Structure 1
Amino acid sequence: MKNKLLIIGASGHGKAVADIALKMDKWQSVNFLDDNEAITFSLGLNVIGKSTDVIEYIEDYEIFVGIGNNTVRKKLQENLLANGASIPVLIHPNAVIGEQVEIEVGTVIMAGAVINCCTIVGQGCILNTGATLDHDNLIEDFVHISPGVHLAGTVKVGHGSWIGIGSIVSNNINIHSECKIGAGGVVVKDLSETGTYVGVPVRRVRE
């Protein structure tokens, strides 16, 4: 493991990511890249360049994409992997991780999150504050599970989906790729089409 960490994105989500990295106490230094030239410090850490400068730092730093938008995060992380970057997993010390849980590179697990046994979490995911995933879940790449979301057992969430704050997903549910679940949504049956879903239980409102 390299002893320096570089986070792309110094705003809201990037700061939350940096806070976790500092609490993990694995890196001698943590810095940011950000395209807003007005930001020179964030969370007391230096912004040392723009996102386009990242290739210059690949040899010396582990690099993490601290961007909340799934599509942007995917583009940046795939470019980093193609260029041989070392990308860590970030797990808040107060998260609870069960046995036989697999977590892929570029994923962040935030404070109070619980992942129960035999769950697989793909690359570039966000498991936000206080989210819970029960046993045998499959979370595909570049999914954002918002704060306070609760997934029962044997739930599959497709690539690039976003589960809004406070949502609930019943057991044995499959959610299609690129779905968006509105805040407080309750999912009680499979979502077999890409789209935006809202309500209790959720209904599809648009593609």
Structure 2
Amino acid sequence: MPRLTRGSSLALLGASGHGRVVADTAHAAGWSGIAFFDDRFPALRANGPWEVRGGSEALFETLGAYDGVLVAIGDNAARLRHHLRLREAGALIATIVHPRAWVSPHSRLGPGSVVMAGAMINIGAEIGEAVIVNTSASVDHDCVLGDGVHVSPGAHLAGGVTVGEGAWIGIGASVRHGIRIGAGTLVGAGAAVVRDLPPGVTAIGCPARPLNRT
């Protein structure tokens, strides 16, 4: 799938606070004609300065009217589910990078992903589809992030880290070089991950330890 990074019109699915940040990032990156779609319409008609034009089904009915489409939902499972549905419908999936972020030209960034202001993605990193690399987060060399991952603001992944599909790295967390984090795992805010984590757990603390299996 081609990486569409700029166009004249952009539709965003999900008019939340996270969606507002995505829209602001897209505007900074040169997108115009930004509009939201959210199933709370018509009760919800605006998200910040941007119009909410309809629910999710209205977006699917008007896909051809937009140069790019992106799911702006913070919840990993919901974001990836809607992203895959849009991809199957033939939508032109956008990839958005803030002009004050750094994405190495020798890395790979999947469609539907967003890189916020101050974030860094270094050489050899492979970022899947519908991934969020949030404000001032860093993904160092040769990391591999599965589809639907969220690296929260101020979180840092050292080189060679692997993060499974749908995992969430909490705000301010740090992950040691070469660590593997399983699919669906939640790393708590401020945690320090120094050992591999299995899928589907919540891990907190310094060093991070799993609380439970989901």
> Do Structure 1 and Structure 2 share a fold, with TM-score over 0.5?
yes
Alignment of 1:184-199 (within 5 A): 184-199=190-205
Return 5+ residue gaps in structure 1 as ranges: none
User: Equivalent residue of 2:196, what SS?
Assistant: coil
Alignment of 1:11-26 (within 5 A): 11-26=16-31
Looking at structure 2, the residues matched to 57 and 119 of structure 1 have their Cα atoms a distance apart, in angstroms, of 34
Looking at structure 1, the residues matched to 140 and 77 of structure 2 have their Cα atoms a distance apart, in angstroms, of 26
Pick the aligned partner of 1:58 from 59, 63, 69: 63
Pick the aligned partner of 1:47 from 44, 52, 55: 52
Looking at structure 2, the residues matched to 92 and 137 of structure 1 have their Cα atoms a distance apart, in angstroms, of 20
> Which residue does 1:139 correspond to in 2?
145
Looking at structure 1, the residues matched to 34 and 122 of structure 2 have their Cα atoms a distance apart, in angstroms, of 30
Looking at structure 1, the residues matched to 210 and 46 of structure 2 have their Cα atoms a distance apart, in angstroms, of 42
Alignment of 1:57-206 (within 5 A): 57-61=62-66, 62-206=68-212
User: Equivalent residue of 1:59, what SS?
Assistant: helix
Paired letter, 1:16: V
Contact 1:103 1:120 in 2 (8 A): yes
Once the 2 structures are TM-superposed, how far is the Cα of residue 4 of structure 1 from its aligned partner? 1.4
Looking at structure 1, the residues matched to 150 and 24 of structure 2 have their Cα atoms a distance apart, in angstroms, of 18
User: CA RMSD of the aligned region, Å?
Assistant: 1.2
Greater CA drift, 188-197 or 138-147: 188-197
Contact 1:180 1:195 in 2 (8 A): yes
Once the 2 structures are TM-superposed, how far is the Cα of residue 202 of structure 1 from its aligned partner? 0.7
Paired letter, 2:35: N
Once the 2 structures are TM-superposed, how far is the Cα of residue 25 of structure 1 from its aligned partner? 1.4
Once the 2 structures are TM-superposed, how far is the Cα of residue 177 of structure 1 from its aligned partner? 0.7
User: Equivalent residue of 1:74, what SS?
Assistant: helix
Paired letter, 1:59: G
> Which residue does 1:8 correspond to in 2?
13
Return 5+ residue gaps in structure 2 as ranges: none
Paired letter, 1:30: I
1:33 aligns with 2:37: yes
Per-residue CA shift, 1:108-130, capped at 9, x if unaligned? 00010011111010000010000
Once the 2 structures are TM-superposed, how far is the Cα of residue 78 of structure 1 from its aligned partner? 0.7
Once the 2 structures are TM-superposed, how far is the Cα of residue 40 of structure 1 from its aligned partner? 1.1
